[in-house]
Amino acid sequence: MEIHTEENVYTSSTVTHSQSTSRPKRSSTFPLESTMHVNNSPVYASNYQTWHSKGSAPDLLTNAEKVDIDQQQQQVLSRLKRECLVFPSYAKREIGENGKPIWTIRIRGWAFSVKGNRKKKLVLSLARTLAGISRKHNTNLNLETRARLFMASNARNLDLNISVVGLSYASHMMLSGDTKQDVQPPPENAIHTEAKAINGHFSANMSVPCSLVESWGILDPTGVRKLLKIRADADDLCDTSFGFVNLIEPEGVSVISDIDDTIKHSNVFLGAKAVLSNTFLKELTSVSGMANIYHYWWLKGVSIHYVSNSPWELLPTLESFFHQHTFPIGSAHLKLMDRIGKLWQPADVGKREAIVEILEDFPQRKFILVGDSGELDMELYAGLARQYPDQIIKIFIRDVTTQRLSQRIAEKVKAGRAKLPHNLGFTRTSSTDSLKSSYSSNLTKFQTRVDKVFEGLDPGMWTLFQDSDELLMCERVKASVFGHTHGKPSDI
C-alpha cells in the first residue's frame, strides 16, 4: 500500500492497494503528520483502506466505534518520531556526599514533534496575514523556518537517558559543541541519569567527579575553556541530541544579559507588530559593539548567562544570531510557553526566577547585569541589587527610550512639514514647538522613572548607556574583571 501526503510517501509491505492517479482523501480529524512512520501498522492500514475507499471518514459511528477509533489514533500518535533540544546550561563545582569535589550539572531540555500540514498551513496563513506578506514574499522563508517550533506539540511521558560523553569547545554561542573535538571518556567511567519529559519539557541534575573531568583536560594547549558535552537518547527520538554545559567555578565574575534590545535589535518598545516583524521576517541584527565586549570579557574568564523573555521555540533562531555575530558561549534561560497564561504574565517574572537560581547557585561570584530600558529590566535588576548587594557589582541599562523619543519627534516634525503649505510658516513653527514640548515632557517622565527605580542605590552601581564602549570604560567593572582601574583594553 502506498500512502501519499503532501510532504512524504510511506510504504507498507503488509497491505496491497491499487495505485490511483488522484490524491487520496483523508479525514480532517485523522492525525497524519509529516514526521509519522507507520510501516507494519495493521491499525493504521485497515482504517486507511476503509476511509480511502469511501473518500472520507464514515459519517455514522456508534459510541463504541468512536472510542475504538480514538484508541487507534492514540496508537498511531504513539508511533510518532520525536525531536529534542538540550538547552545550553552550566555546572557548578561543590563538595559531594563522599566529601570529594564534583560538578553538579543543571540539565534542561524539550522533547516535541512538529504538527501536521493542516495546522501548519493555518498558523502560517494567519502569520502571513498579520505580517502583511504573501507566500511569494522574499521574507516568507524566514517566517516558515523561524515559526516551525511554534507548531510543535509536546512529547508526553517520554523517557530519556542523559549521559556525559566528554569535553568539547566552541568559539561562539551554540546548541552543541564541536563533535570533532570531543574527548571521549573511557566506557567504564560513563556517567548517566534518567529524565522524563512528562509534558515536553524535562529537567534533571547529575554529578560528575571533578577528578574525572580534570583527567580529560579542562583546557586545551592554547588555554581555551572547554565544555562538558551531554547526550540525550530515547527510543522515540529521530536522532540523538547533544547539548553543552559551561563549567563555572564557585568564585569569579559572571555576566547576566538580556537579549532583546540589549544585544539584538528587536524594538520591543514599538509594540507587538514590530517585534513579530523583527523576530520572524527581518534579518537579525546585533547592537553595535556588544559582541566584541562580551567576547572580550569571556576571554578574560567571565562566565555569561543569556536570560530572556523569548520562548524556547526561538532557540534555533537565536543560535543562528549568536553564530552570525560571534557572541561567546554561555547558558541560555528562556521562557517556557507550556501554558497560555504565561503569554500574559509580567515580563520580569520568568527572568527573575532564572536569575535568582543563578545567583543562589553561585553565592561567592560577582555579577554584572546588562539589560535595556524598553521593558522592566531596570526595575528587576534594581530589586535584585537590593536583595543580593554582595553579589551584584554593576547594572548596565541600554537607554533605548531617549533615542526612540528623539526619533519619534523627528519623524513627526518631518511628516508635519511635508503636509503643511509653504506659506504657513507660523503654523509649522507652532506645531514643532508643541512636539518639542511633548518630547521634553516624556523625557522628564523617563528620568523620573530612572530616579525612582535606583533610589537609594550607590550611583556607581548602575549606568544608563547608549554607546557600548561605556561598558569597557567602567572603573568598577575593570577592577573586578581585569584587576586594575586604569587603561582601556586593546581591540579584539
Confidence of residue 88 (pLDDT cuts 50, 70, 90): very high
Mean pLDDT of 153-174: 84
pLDDT in the model for residue 421: 56
Cell of 475: 572603573
* Extended strands (E) in 134-266: 152-154, 156-168, 191-199, 201-209, 227-233, 241-248, 253-257
pLDDT tens digit sequence for 32-77: 223 333 333 333 233 323 323 333 333 333 455 444 544 544 444 4
CA angle 239, 242, 246 (to 5 degrees): 175
Per-residue CA distances from 286 to 44, 139, 289 (Å) = 49, 19, 8
Q: What is the mean pLDDT of the chain?
A: 74
In DSSP notation, 281-338 reads TSPP-BPTTHHHHHHHHHHTT-EEEEEEEEEGGGHHHHHHHHHHHTPPP-EEEEE--S
- The pLDDT score that the predictor gives to residue 271 is 63
pLDDT 10s digits, 326-355: 899 999 999 887 544 444 455 567 799 999
- Across 63-67, 78-82, 311-315, 416-420, least confident range: 63-67
The more confidently predicted of residues 270 and 311 is: 311
Contact assessment for residue 166 and residue 186, using Cβ atoms and an 8 Å cutoff = no
| Cα–Cα distance, 223 to 254 (Å, whole number) | 19
What is the pLDDT at residue 27? 32
For the cut 50, the answer to whether the pLDDT of residue 3 exceeds it is no
Q: What is the pLDDT of residue 475?
A: 84
3-state helix, strand, coil in the chain (%, to 5): 40, 25, 35
**Closest by Cα among 259, 294, 297 to 279:** 259
CA distance 293 to 306: 14
- Give the highest mean pLDDT range of 358-367, 397-406, 428-437: 358-367
**pLDDT over threshold 90, residue 172:** no
The pLDDT value recorded for residue 114 is 76
Distance CA(452)–CA(56), nearest Å, equals: 65
pLDDT digits (tens, 9 = 90+) for 287-311: 999 999 999 999 888 999 999 988 8
For residue 420, pLDDT over 80 is answered with no
The three grid cell numbers given for residue 26, joined into one nine-digit string: 483523508
pLDDT in tens, 218-266: 666 566 678 888 989 888 787 888 899 999 999 999 999 999 999 998 8
Reported as a pLDDT band with limits 50, 70 and 90, residue 485 is very low
pLDDT score of 294? 94
pLDDT band, very low/low/confident/very high, at 491 (cuts 50, 70, 90):
very low
Burial class (CB in 10 A: 0-12, 13-18, 19+), 311: middle
Give yes or no for residue 436 having a pLDDT over 50: yes
Q: What angle do CA 278, 283, 289 make, to 5 degrees?
A: 95
How sure is the predictor about 11, in pLDDT bands with cuts at 50, 70 and 90?
A: very low
Specify whether the CB–CB gap between 42 and 69 falls below 8 A: no
Whether residue 190 has pLDDT greater than 50: yes
Supply the pLDDT for residue 140.
Answer: 77
Going by C-alpha positions, the residue among 245, 312, 259 that lies closest to residue 287 is 259
Dihedral sign from CA coordinates of 476, 477, 483, 489: negative
Q: Does the structure show a pLDDT above 90 at 130?
A: no
Q: Residue 282 above 90 pLDDT?
A: no
Q: Which residue has the higher pLDDT, 148 or 429?
A: 148
Amino acid found at 253: V
Residues 6 or more apart whose Cβ sits within 8 Å of residue 472:
293, 296, 478, 488, 489
Residue 383 has pLDDT above 70, yes or no: yes
Residue 444 pLDDT: 86
